[in-house]
Structure 1
Amino acid sequence: MSLRDQKSFLSKIHPFELLSNEQMDLCIRHMDIAYYPKNEILITPEKIPNHFFVIIKGIVHEYKEEEILMDYHQQDSFDSNSLIYGKSKNSFKVYEDLICYEIEKDIFLELIEQNEGFKNFFLNNLVNKLQTLKDKEYKSDLSSFMIAKVSDTILRKPCIVETGTKLIDAIDKSMKYSTSTIIVKKDNEYGIITDSLLKVKVLLEGRDLSIPVESIAIFPLLSINKEDYLFDALTLLIKKSIKRIGVINTKGELLGILEQIDILSHFANHTYVVDTKIKNANNLEDLKDASNELISTIKTLNAKGVKVNHISSLIGQLNIKIYRKVYRLILPKELQKDACFIVMGSEGRNEQIIKTDQDNALVVKDGIDVEQYRPYMEKLTETLIDFGYPPCPGNIMVSNPFWCKTVQDYKNETAKWIEAPAMQNYMDLAIFFDSFSVAGDKELLINLKEDLFNKLHDKDVFMAYFAKATLTFDTPSTVANFMTKTYYLDIKKGGIFPIVQGIRSLALRERIRETTTVKRIKILEQKKAIEPQMANELLEAFDVLNTLRLKAHLQKLQDGKKLNNEIDTHTLGKIERDLLKDSFKIVSNFKKFIIYTFRIDKIL
């Protein structure tokens, strides 16, 4: 291989592309090609190498005792830790005849000292490594919107008046500011008066303009920090169905007003159009048209490099609005207030991006006849199927009488789930625990969640069995060679589900009412139920796994194939493969943490 070929080869491997021309030349001058046959032992705790290995062809397995921790393929490199720290906890063995580059130890260490980016990659912890790899993989796709902070866009100067100000004087001041929005300051809190509020609270009610501003202002003014991402501001506007929010600094001081039109001008996508269509839909046919545009929205956001958790958050809000509108269009008004329509499972966690199935239920107030709801629930399920939400294979839908009953009936059911442990009961409880109210009386669900927490007090054995479900599926980083064992890998079973179920188990034990996995992780960290490093690792791994799943889903939609959670590992690029391996390593360590935390080894 010529010097030019060697340079081309190394430049495609992160972080070698960070080296300067002089550093790359130094590296190549002190690099040789080596061959090792199958079963050759390269590194052990007793045998520390004098070279850094970069694979040209072949496979190497990394072991800890008898357990395979990692497999290395073409363009993979190892083992920086042995060279930097002069020791190795693990062993490296050739699995398939190996041809590799060997870079001299002294030169490798010299490059680390000379190049900060090169050094950071090898010395950073796993979280920073994942972030670095993700930045490199998706940097070309990142839109300016995704890295834009609230402070990067236009902020309207706020027209602020104190409490006690006459409304007519406040209106006069707002005209001088050329704004239709009046901000009312009361102590350290802000409220808001908009044009629409003036019409409803003043004109239609025939009130005098001499009234104090606080008598009609809405408190508090919804706000966002200036250092937050602009995408979070858009999500908040859509979630709350509002057109403007306040922008504050770390001290809580109001800096300005962020208008919806300014966000949309910064980033042109049609999420706002879909949201408006949902709001304006007066019948099911119009609502179906809005629902059908969600896939286009997802494709647009993904193509612009929007992070998967942001996409799920935004699409989740739009889905909730569709569900809520369906409920209100189908169910007679007099029945709506005596029931709570809930979504569960991935929908309840706000983590279902592509419509894969529906998990929903109805909680009816005690003393109300459930039978009168059943025909409407049948129609609701049929409508959602027509909208493109596939039926649940397990029939976890409001049309199923099991998932349409009174508060007391649900309480009786949760008692059975806890007192008569069985795998189906564990899964029903897990799905129900992730429930989220989308329409009707949400207090009914709050009552049920509180009852569930109380029943689980001191139920350590039950919690151990519940958490044991985290171990249901193998995670590939602990089995041999996931890249060559099969082309297809179920990324949900191997990586996503263990994180979801393990975090769900911890959240249930800690009585956390939040349903989304990402927010549960952050709350668990705040409660010191998990260490900050583990929390950060889980957040990064969860993002990687869901990003790869979404990419596979969108490809299947494009190819007209049936959706599932399998990814073709042989279509992954080098960096994606590294991201996947490191994520599986995090999942494997998390499983061990769950075993220890819930003492699962005592019941196995």
Structure 2
Amino acid sequence: MSLRDQKEFLSQIHPFELLDERQMDKCIKHMDIAYYPKDEILITPERIPEHFFIIIKGIVHEYNENEEILVDFHQQDSFDANSLIYGKTKNNFKVYEDLICYEIEKIAFLELIEENEGFKNFFLNNLVNKLQTLKEKKYTSELSSFMIARVADTVLHPPCIVEEGTKLIDAIEKSMEFHTSTIIVKKQNGEFGIITDSLLKVKVLLQGRDLNIHVEDIAIFPLLAVNQDDYLFDAFSLLIKKNIKRVGVVDNDCQMVGILEQIDVLSHFANHTYVVDSKIKNAKTIEELKEASSEFINTIKTLNAKGVKVNHISNLIGQLNTKVYKKLYKFIVPKELQKDACFIVMGSEGRNEQIMKTDQDNALVVKDGVDVEQYRPYMQQMTESLIDFGYPPCPGNIMVSNPFWCKTVSEYKSETKKWIENPDMQNYMDLAIFFDAFAVAGDKELLINLKDDLFNKLHDKDVFMAYFAKATLTFDTPSTVANFMTKSHNIDIKKTGVFPVVQGIRSLALRERIRETRTTNRIRILEQKKILESQMANELLEAFDVLNTLRLKAHLQKAQDNVKINNEVDTHKLGKIERDLLKDSFKIVNDFKKFITYTFKIDKIS
């Protein structure tokens, strides 16, 4: 292989592309090609290497002290920086398929680490940072203002702030000096409120009130605010969720530094998400609502193409879905019946983690003393309309048109009691789906009541919780690249990776009486409660993002090919970085499974 070929080969392997010309020359000068036959032992705790290995061809397995395979290294993989940096290892490295590799001398490798900060950081970072680095390299060409822009990066309008006790006429005069129609009112306790033009019309002009009234008499408290260091996309999601046109912007000391206007955010992103939101809001018929929801797929494609994180996409699409359900509920259910029931979404929809329209999981909770039968024809229409909108029917018939999922509060309480006292696989599944329920329309207190009742029933039910958590282990998660780079080359990424994280975190959340439904938010709450160590929480968040990103990519490809969407990923179509990301994510999932097994003492039950 020529010098030019060697440079080209190395430049394709992260983090060697970070080396400058002189450092790359130094690397190649101290690099040789070596061959090792199958079963050759390369590294052991007693035999620390003098070289850093980069595989040209072949496979190497890394084993722990129990002779379990931890990692398998393939073409363009490298190892073992830790042995060289720290001078020790607990594991064994053995050739599985005849190996041809580059060997970089230890002294030269360590010198490069000291000379190049980016090179050094990659090898000294923990697994979370490595995952982040690999993702950044994978998606650098796709990054846009969507992905990286902070609130402070866009237009912020100077805040016109007046103290409580200020006369309204004086506040209006000050707002004219600021060339703004927005007045921020600050109370003595530091709380902020807001007065807008529309508020002046409704609360002053139409009511004929005197302009000498105090500003706090008409201001709306509190003013919703974001931090200037928050992602702009998160601020955009808040505007969409709350149906508002502006938010306050504060610094880390909670001081008001500006006003973020919806129009400026839209100009920054220049996408049609807000157009879709407006179509939902302005829909006057079910047909118009259907048309608005049909544009979700284009929104998803646009956001994904711009490099938006899958967590942000699911959050935004979840907000839009909620608005569709709420509006459809109002269209279909007579007004006099709406207040006596609560329409809920469950499962991935309840967790706000369903991006593509895969299937429905919904139900209706009816207030005790109200006749459920009068709701049934409307719930049938809800299901049929959602199917017409493109939300496929649930294969397990977990839909509001099914009488089992349309009943009173007391009937649901009887059902949850049966799930807990007579557990079987179906009951575990029903409980898991129900626990993720999120209220989207009607009286939300009905669902809150049911969840309170569920938490109380599970008090001191350690054995039940162990069986509930055991579902985390239902599907095998590949431990090595060889396990998922199979001949069939299709792997169900939901079963192998996403589900174990969701179910394990759901089990912990149920035990800890956590009401939050989103998996990522549950992880952060569990970290705050010291149930998860920060390192594990961060690793799970990174792995969950990788798994869902690959899943969404596969979904979009199937949608483009006009084939039925499922959770299979073709591993032979993964690039090296994606393969590395998947490999490291599966390692995190397997470690989490061990944690769940230990935490719930699953090995003590049959």
Same fold (TM over 0.5): yes
Equivalent residues in 2 for 1:160-559, closer than 5 Å: 160-187=161-188, 188-477=190-479, 480-559=482-561
Q: How far apart are residue 485 of structure 1 and its match?
A: 4.9
Task: For 2:486 and 2:62, locate their aligned partners in 1 and report how far apart those are by CA, in whole Å.
Answer: 15
Q: Give ranges in structure 2 of 5+ residues lacking alignment.
A: none
Q: Would the aligned equivalents of 2:480 and 2:583 in 1 still touch at CA under 8 Å?
A: no
SS at structure 2 position matched to 1:511: coil
Quote the residue 2:154 is aligned against: 153
Counterpart in the other structure of 2:63:
63
* Secondary structure, counterpart of 1:477 in structure 2: coil
Q: Measure the CA separation in 2 of the matches of 1:304 and 1:440.
A: 36
The answer to whether the 8 A contact 1:68-1:479 is kept is no
Query: What residue identity is the alignment partner of 2:120?
Result: K
Q: Residues of 2 paired with 1:461 and 1:213: CA distance?
A: 58
Query: Which is worse superposed, 486-495 or 432-441?
Result: 486-495
Counterpart of 1:28, as a letter, is I
The answer to whether the Cα contact below 8 Å between 2:146 and 2:307 also exists between their aligned partners in 1 is: no
- Could you report, residue by residue, the CA deviation over 1:569-601 in whole angstroms, capped at 9, with x for unpaired residues? 111111111111111111111110101111111
Rounded to whole Å, the distance in 2 between the matches of 1:482 and 1:177 is 61
Q: Which moved more, 1:149-158 or 1:218-227?
A: 149-158
What code does the residue aligned with 1:81 have? Answer: N
**Aligned with 1:245: secondary structure?**
strand
CA distance in structure 2 between the aligned counterparts of 1:478 and 1:424, rounded to whole angstroms: 32
Provide the rounded CA distance (Å) in 1 between the counterparts of 2:83 and 2:453. Answer: 53
**Equivalence for 2:26:** 26
Structure 1 unaligned spans of 5+: none
Q: Is 1:68–1:480's contact at 8 Å kept on the other side of the alignment?
A: no
Q: Choose 87-96 or 298-307, whichever is displaced more.
A: 87-96
Moved more, 328-337 or 557-566: 557-566
Task: Quote how far apart the aligned CAs of 1:173 are.
Answer: 2.5
DSSP-derived class of the 2:120 partner: helix
* Paired amino acid for 1:578: D
Q: 1:54 is aligned with what amino acid?
A: I
Per the TM alignment, residue 433 of structure 1 is displaced from its structure 2 partner at its CA by 0.6
More deviation, 1-10/100-109? 100-109
Secondary structure of the corresponding residue to residue 199 of structure 2: helix
CA distance in 1, matches of 2:361, 2:589: 26
Question: Letter of the aligned partner of 2:306 in structure 1?
Answer: K
What amino acid does structure 1 have at the position aligned with 2:71? M
Q: For the residues of structure 1 that align with 2:41 and 2:453, how far apart are their CA atoms? A: 58
Compute the displacement of 1:147 (Å).
1.3
The one-letter code matched in structure 2 to 1:467 is A
| Cα distance in 2 for residues equivalent to 1:31 and 1:158 | 60
Give the AA of the match of 1:148: A
What SS is found at the alignment partner of 2:578? Answer: helix
Distance 2:255 2:28 in 1: 56
Alpha carbons 1:192, 1:218 under 8 Å: kept = yes
Counting only pairs closer than 5 Å after superposition, residues 36-185 of structure 1 correspond to structure 2 as 36-64=36-64, 65-185=66-186
Q: Is 1:67–1:478's contact at 8 Å kept on the other side of the alignment?
A: no
Shift of 1:35: 1.9
1:354 aligned partner, one-letter code: M
Quote the Cα distance in structure 2 between the aligned partners of 1:32 and 1:397: 63
* SS state at 1:437 partner: strand
Amino acid at match of 1:267: F
Q: CA deviation at 1:419?
A: 0.7
- Residue aligned with 1:156, SS: coil
What's 1:11 paired with? Answer: 11
Q: Write the distance in 2 (CA, Å) between the matches of 1:71 and 1:485.
A: 17
> Is the 1:365–1:444 Cα contact (8 Å) retained in structure 2?
yes
Between the aligned partners of 2:146 and 2:589, the Cα distance in structure 1 is 31
Q: What is the CA–CA distance in structure 2 between the aligned matches of 1:224 and 1:316, rounded to whole Å?
A: 20
* 1:599 pairs with one of 593, 598, 601: 601
Q: Mean Cα displacement is larger for which, 27-36 or 251-260? A: 27-36
Q: Which amino acid aligns with 2:85?
A: I
Distance 2:488 2:598 in 1: 31
1:66 Cα deviation after fit: 3.1
Deviations 1:278-322 (A, max 9, x none): 100011011111101111011111111111111111111111111
Q: d(CA) in 2 for partners of 1:80 and 1:384? A: 54
Indicate if the aligned counterparts of 2:61 and 2:70 stay in contact, CA closer than 8 A.
yes
Match of 2:324, SS state, is helix
Aligned 8 A contact 1:19 1:118 in 2: yes
State the 1:479 CA deviation. Answer: 8.2
* 8 A Cα contact 2:72 2:481, kept in partner: no
* Partner SS for 2:9: helix
Amino acid at match of 1:508: L
Q: Is the 8 A contact 1:41 1:94 kept in 2?
A: yes
TM superposition shift of 1:483: 1.5
Q: SS at the partner of 1:484?
A: coil
Structure 2 counterpart of 1:127, one-letter code: V
Alpha-carbon offset, residue 478 of structure 1: 5.6
User: How far apart, in 2, do the equivalents of 1:370 and 1:49 lie?
Assistant: 73
Q: Identity, % of aligned pairs?
A: 81
What is the one-letter code of the residue matched to 1:169?
A: D
Give the distance between the partners of 2:23 and 2:214, measured in 1 at CA: 71
Question: In 2, Cα distance between the equivalents of 1:498 and 1:560?
Answer: 29
Partner Cα distance (1:582, 1:241) in 2: 40
Write the distance in 1 (CA, Å) between the matches of 2:70 and 2:174. Answer: 67
Q: Which amino acid aligns with 1:510?
A: E
Asked if the contact 2:481–2:583 (Cα under 8 Å) also holds between the matched residues in 1, the reply is no
TM-score (norm 1): 0.98
Bigger shift: residues 194-203 or 376-385: 194-203
Distance of 2:403 and 2:200 partners within structure 1: 47
Show CA shifts across 1:240-282 (max 9, x none).
0000000111222111111001111111111110111010001
CA apart distance, 1:155: 1.1
Residues matched between the structures, number: 604
Give, as a single letter, the amino acid of the residue that structure 1 aligns with 2:26.
L
**Are 1:71 and 1:481, in contact at CA under 8 Å, matched by a contact in 2?**
no
Separation in 2, partners of 1:375, 1:338: 16
Q: What SS does the corresponding residue of 2:439 show, helix, strand or coil?
A: strand
Deviation at 1:84, TM superposition (A): 1.7
Which shows bigger deviation, 305-314 or 83-92?
83-92
The one-letter amino acid paired with 2:429 is M
Q: Distance in 2 between matches of 1:571 and 1:88?
A: 34
- Amino acid paired to 2:4: R
